[in-house]
Amino acid sequence: MLKYPFINSLSLLAFIVLIILDIIWGIGWWTYILLATVWTTLTIIGSFHIRWNYHLPALHFNHKIPDNLVSITFDDGPHPNYTPKVLELLQKYNARATFFCVGHQVKLYGGIAKQIVDNGHTIGNHTYTHANKFGFFGTQKVLLELQKTKAIIKEKTGVNPQLYRPAFGVTNPSIKRAVKKMELKTVGWNIRSLDTTKRSKKAVLKRITSTIQKGDIILLHDSSEKTVEVLEQLLLFLQQNKMQSVTVDQLLDIEAYA
Ligand SMILES: [Zn+2]
């Protein structure tokens, strides 16, 4: 896979070669524009596609797992209406999941965050504000967001979360530095349900179940009634196919808490 430092070094080398060629033969300004366009395109795509591991290594699945296990993950909660319904369903089907929570939501709904942990699920860090401009924050601002979320989760639930799910799946050099400093493990996914789009429940469920296999990590959001309904269908599907959802730390064989 392509990596940001490698692409930077390669682009710098190409730039130097272009200058030399330009001095000798006068190859023209458009070659510089072409190089800049290639670099920008790769970096934009790499920043938005967590599975490229372009800026930092993230864990997306564990297909080597011997048992018929998958991991359902929920981002953006806790939500006062939907997270309790999600917890109820998970309990009904004896399934475990991972909740990547937004710090300010944990501050508002600490009791639900505590219930997530008490019910045997894993809680992780999903930034403090989930700001739309998060991808443009500098290292210090990212660090503050992640530290505040870690502190509020510790205060409300008693656990010290070490797993991080990037907001919007966006990564960049600032996020890489903050994650490294806090020694967090970044968790991605390999099945994106697209449950927050206008797709129907049926379409969302099909996106998940059409390719599902053991070791997969599924991305959902505990922030809508649609997802609650999809979840029940998914849990039924797993039951019928003798599959079980476990926490990501169990699936990936890593520690969720410090
Ligand atoms: Zn999110």
Distances (CA, A) of 118 to 12, 66, 162: 52, 27, 17
Q: With bands split at pLDDT 50, 70 and 90, how would you rate the model's confidence at 204?
A: very high
The alpha carbon of 24 and the centre of ligand 1 are apart by a number of angstroms equal to 51
The alpha carbon of 146 and the centre of ligand 1 are apart by a number of angstroms equal to 14
For residue 163, what are the β-bridge partners? Answer: 185
For residue 257, what are the β-bridge partners? Answer: 161
The alpha carbon of 66 and the centre of ligand 1 are apart by a number of angstroms equal to 30
The alpha carbon of 75 and the centre of ligand 1 are apart by a number of angstroms equal to 5
Pick 94 or 52 by higher pLDDT.
Answer: 94
The alpha carbon of 131 and the centre of ligand 1 are apart by a number of angstroms equal to 9
The two tokens of residue 200 are 């129907």
Residues with CB in 5 Å of ion ligand 1 = 75-76, 167
Q: What is the mean pLDDT of residues 219-245?
A: 97
Model confidence over 8-63: pLDDT tens digits? 999 999 999 999 999 998 888 899 999 999 999 999 999 998 888 999 999 999 99
State residue 51's pLDDT score: 87
State residue 141's pLDDT score: 98
What is the set of domains in the chain, with CATH numbers?
A: 4-48 (no CATH), 69-252 (3.20.20.370)
Rounded to 10°, the helix 139-157/110-118 angle is: 70
Model confidence over 102-146: pLDDT tens digits? 999 999 999 999 999 999 999 999 999 999 999 999 999 999 999
Residue 1 has pLDDT above 80, yes or no: no
Average pLDDT, the chain: 96
The alpha carbon of 129 and the centre of ligand 1 are apart by a number of angstroms equal to 10
The alpha carbon of 74 and the centre of ligand 1 are apart by a number of angstroms equal to 9
State residue 174's pLDDT score: 96
Instruction: Give me the amino acid identity at 252.
Output: L
Distance (Å, rounded) from C-alpha 181 to C-alpha 234? 37
State residue 233's pLDDT score: 98
Flag the least confident range among 52-56, 130-134, 182-186, 192-196: 52-56
The alpha carbon of 169 and the centre of ligand 1 are apart by a number of angstroms equal to 8
The alpha carbon of 26 and the centre of ligand 1 are apart by a number of angstroms equal to 49
The alpha carbon of 93 and the centre of ligand 1 are apart by a number of angstroms equal to 25
The alpha carbon of 23 and the centre of ligand 1 are apart by a number of angstroms equal to 49
Strands 185-187 and 244-245: unpaired
Q: With bands split at pLDDT 50, 70 and 90, how would you rate the model's confidence at 155?
A: very high
The alpha carbon of 76 and the centre of ligand 1 are apart by a number of angstroms equal to 5
